[in-house]
Chain A
Amino acid sequence: MLKPEVLNKLRAVVGNSHVLSEPEDMIVYSNDATILSAKPEAVVQPANRDEVAAVVKLAARYNIPVTCRGAATCLSGGTIPLKGGIVLELTRLNQILKIDKVNKIAVVQPGVITFDLITAAGNAGLLYPPDPSSMKESTLGGNVAECAGGPKGVKYGITRDFVLGMEAVLSDGSIIQTGNAVDGDMCGPDWTMLLTGSEGTMAVITSITLRLVPLPAVKKTMMAVYDRLEDAAKTVSVTMAAGIIPTTLELMDNLSIVSVEKYLKIGLPVKAGGLLLIEVDGVLSTVEENARRVSEICKQCGATEVKIAQTPQEAEDLWRARRSINPAFGQVAPCKFAEDATVPRSLVPVLVEKIMSIQEKYDVPIFNMGHAGDGNMHPTIMFDKRNKEQMARAEQALDEVHIVTLELGGTLSGEHGIGCAKAPYLRAETGATGYKIGREIKQAVDPLGILNPGKMFFYEGKLH
């Protein structure tokens, strides 16, 4: 527990009702969307930048760890307070400060729900493309800190590609402005990029300047159905090689299709080995041409059926299917390791096959699906944690997924972050020198080591 003296000072900053310290609160705030858990000693809910700075200053003075959190939908343990201390919940900073239609820029606080920005931008005729499946509950601060992706990543890129600048509180409570609202900002090293994806280990984000793009005039959504999952995966690389860049290329295997269908009952092809959910957007002529060419490629690669949504409702149904995979896992087993193994897109078919064999080898169900278009796959390993033997097999399978991904020249995280869940493998990806530099950069920016300690380069367990 924090000393009463510290709790009182925190209360003086944010108000009595925004410092939670009961044992029940500590349990509730010990988790994110992983099965990992560690209790904080207090939860503090600041309302603005100055309160954030004051809280961080207090933490620095008393050497208390600070772990930031938005909606805690994180899938790598990023918001778990491994070392106790303060959980800094930033959801009260939830204002969209500006949408600049002319310069196509949005300025938001970190607690804004991703979907709320997408909606507000849409109302202004603009698009904020990053759309993680958790967008209806996840926050932009978390999206930036973990560098979230989403189905539209193929064409538009991931969160990283939209962050122009930010305001953040450093570990001593001082405030830094990075970047600029100007697209062509080239003033020295990219500090903004250093903080993006730093998972709350370097600074507390208090405001973000994001790039927006014009809302596409039209889009077409289609579904290609395959007998064999491998053929669906092959379609991805053939399409990209043909020079067509769809907005999305989502892959679902049979297990995903069947589970989602059980949940949504919208008539998905439950006998298919795999399917691709494809969307193309832009101006009418290009969209029609691309849709035609994509559907030809699908058929060449072995699609048994290519269905183009004729109404917005049909398109929405297909999207609902994709978005529902995450919640539908529960149909198969109660617990999961939701991974984001990411490889160069040409290697998606190889990764898919390797995951199929891992599934067989360890005899655990694995959902073989993901944002195949940018190589960001989501193999999801299912188990019941009450069955220790099965959980051990699931952990071995998880190990192997990470190793296979790295062997293919891929990366541990396409969008979920490293946190503590994937930290044991981080050195294997960065190499010993890269790992050392990673530690040194963090030490330079957060010399006290109070921001999200025990994560990423400061993981204290065994390294691969």
Chain B
Amino acid sequence: MNKQERRQLIEQEIVKCSRCGNCRSICPVFLAENNENTTPRSKARLLEAVLENDIELTAGVQQRFEKCLFCKACLTHCGSGVATDKVILAARTAAAERNGISPMKKLAFTGLRYRKLFDLCLRAGALFQHVIFKKLPDGRGRAPRILLPGAGLNQRRIMPDMTVSPLRTRLPEFIPAKKADSQGTVLFFTGCMLNYFYPQTGDAVVNILTANGWNVVIPAEQCCCGTPAFTSGDEATGRVLAEQNVQAIGSKKYDHIVTACASCGAALKEEYAHILGDSPLLAASQNVAGKVLDITQFVLQHCDLTKLGKVPLKVTYHDPCHLVRGMQVSAEPRQILQSIPGLEYVEMKDASRCCGAGGSFSAVYYELSRHINDKKLDNAANTGTDYCITGCSSCRMHITDGLTQRHSPMKVLHTAEIISMAYEAGGKEGETC
């Protein structure tokens, strides 16, 4: 998107904002901070002032635009239909062009552009993580030994264990279905979190797919989906990554694309068209977008629910923002959980309210994101369940951190993992019959 187009988009959206203040009742950042500066209506007002040359796109304006989780709650709540997410994205991009972005982010995003180097760095990181992080005895992850505020590492913060053998390194590019008569091929877009931090979720996805008769293809050339870069205003890096992924996906044969990361899914499905506006790869990206399904959507549409076996757990579910509002997926995970025999499901209050993770948001505003997370943890605890299920690794990481800080015995699992457990249990039941 060029400067002209960006300006037009902002103008056309912010004129719709009536400043009614409706967004005050829904914005998690506002609710935590009680400061008008954090409301979406104020962001619209600031941009109006920028357009009217009342103020320049200062670092102060830029900083106010940083305080947004991209949870999209205001977007679905705003009757005037102000596309707040697009406005904030455009504003962040414009501000980044004028003022730059933080050196830490710049370094990280530049690294992202070079897939193999990035991979090498993270694998090296896994080998040396014990230098910076100490392992927690309960196996929930690692806590930093030293304070690294620039990297968003608060001394208290619990990070997941990085795997020394990432998912994509371990698994072949093509994994055949477990049944003889295959139903077709699913392309699995793993994303970084599953690849480097939660490979067990990736294994679960592969298990679900292959157990239901689908071949799985995991393109080796795929890279970061780009969400961290373009939501931070680094549109150029976002674009490089989007193009790389569209090419990697396009070189494979598949019937569906499955994601198990809400942000990756939303990026492939919604954001690429926006980022690749005038790219020759736009048409290819639209082809990709049309085939993307979250793993829970895929299970409901293309898998056999009657083969789910007993999982005797008491669980609740947290809606990741990019699933419930980014991909409009909320009924699917609930429906699947409720069809697992032996599983007791309890809905939590405000299940779709953001957990406060927001990618790099929780790195920059750690205390604030913990505060937002506290509400989520209270609501989860009030269900009296043992597990919090969610479909996003970033939410998982943040909620796990909060639970550990609180010494809560509750555990977090990705939806795909519990579904995979149910299929495994179903398989065993089948054997005994």
Q: Which residues of A contact B (CB under 8 A)?
A: 20, 22-25, 27-34, 71-73, 89, 91-92, 94, 113, 115, 134, 136-138, 263, 324, 326-331, 334-336, 384-386
| Contact call B15/A24, Cβ cutoff below 8 A | no
| Contact call B80/A24, Cβ cutoff below 8 A | no
Q: How far is the CB of A28 from chain B (nearest CB, A)?
A: 4
| Contact call B21/A73, Cβ cutoff below 8 A | yes
| Contact call A89/B22, Cβ cutoff below 8 A | no
Q: How far is the CB of A384 from chain B (nearest CB, A)?
A: 7
Nearest B residue to A384 via CB reads B15
| Contact call B19/A28, Cβ cutoff below 8 A | no
Number of A-B contacts (CB under 8 A): 95
Within 8 A of A (CB), among B3-39: 15-16, 18-22, 24-25, 34, 36-37
Nearest B residue to A34 via CB reads B19
Q: How far is the CB of A49 from chain B (nearest CB, A)?
A: 18
| Contact call A32/B19, Cβ cutoff below 8 A | yes
| Contact call B37/A24, Cβ cutoff below 8 A | yes
> Using Cβ atoms and an 8 Å threshold, which residues of chain B touch A324?
79
> Using Cβ atoms and an 8 Å threshold, which residues of chain A touch B55?
23-24, 27
Q: How far is the CA of A6 from the CA of B49 in the complex (A)?
A: 27
Q: How far is the CB of B65 from chain A (nearest CB, A)?
A: 10
| Contact call A327/B15, Cβ cutoff below 8 A | no
| Contact call A386/B18, Cβ cutoff below 8 A | no
Residue of B18, B34, B46, B49 ringed by the most chain A CB atoms within 10 A: B18
> Using Cβ atoms and an 8 Å threshold, which residues of chain B touch A29?
36
List 25 A-B residue pairs with CB atoms under 8 Å apart, sorted by A's residue number. Answer: A24-B46, A27-B55, A28-B45, A30-B45, A31-B45, A33-B18, A33-B19, A33-B20, A33-B21, A34-B19, A71-B21, A134-B20, A136-B22, A326-B20, A326-B79, A327-B78, A327-B80, A329-B18, A329-B80, A330-B78, A330-B80, A334-B18, A335-B18, A384-B15, A386-B15
> Using Cβ atoms and an 8 Å threshold, which residues of chain B touch A89?
36
| Contact call A27/B36, Cβ cutoff below 8 A | no
Q: How far is the CA of A380 from the CA of B18 in the complex (A)?
A: 12
Q: How far is the CB of B95 from chain A (nearest CB, A)?
A: 12
At the interface, yes or no: B290 with Cβ under 8 Å from chain A? no
Shortest Cβ-Cβ A-B pairs, 9 listed: A327-B79, A330-B80, A136-B25, A137-B24, A73-B21, A28-B42, A334-B15, A24-B60, A137-B25
| Contact call A331/B81, Cβ cutoff below 8 A | yes
Decide if the interface of chain A is mainly helix, strand, loop or mixed.
loop
> Using Cβ atoms and an 8 Å threshold, which residues of chain A touch B16?
330, 334
> Using Cβ atoms and an 8 Å threshold, which residues of chain A touch B61?
24
> Using Cβ atoms and an 8 Å threshold, which residues of chain B touch A136?
22, 25
Q: How far is the CA of A134 from the CA of B37 in the complex (A)?
A: 19
Nearest A residue to B23 via CB reads A137
Q: How far is the CB of B386 from chain A (nearest CB, A)?
A: 29
Interface string of B316-349 (1 = CB under 8 A from A): 0000000000000000000000000000000000
Nearest B residue to A18 via CB reads B35
Q: How far is the CB of A60 from chain B (nearest CB, A)?
A: 25
Nearest A residue to B22 via CB reads A327
| Contact call B21/A330, Cβ cutoff below 8 A | no
Nearest B residue to A92 via CB reads B34
Nearest B residue to A264 via CB reads B79
At the interface, yes or no: B135 with Cβ under 8 Å from chain A? no
> Using Cβ atoms and an 8 Å threshold, which residues of chain A touch B79?
263, 324, 326-331
Nearest B residue to A263 via CB reads B79
| Contact call B20/A327, Cβ cutoff below 8 A | yes
Q: How far is the CB of A264 from chain B (nearest CB, A)?
A: 9
Nearest B residue to A260 via CB reads B79
Within 8 A of A (CB), among B68-86: 77-82
Q: A32-B19, A137-B21 are in contact. List 8 more A-B contacts (CB 8 A).
A: A28-B36, A73-B20, A326-B20, A330-B16, A330-B78, A330-B79, A330-B80, A334-B80
> Using Cβ atoms and an 8 Å threshold, which residues of chain B touch A138?
21
> Using Cβ atoms and an 8 Å threshold, which residues of chain B touch A137?
21-22, 24-25
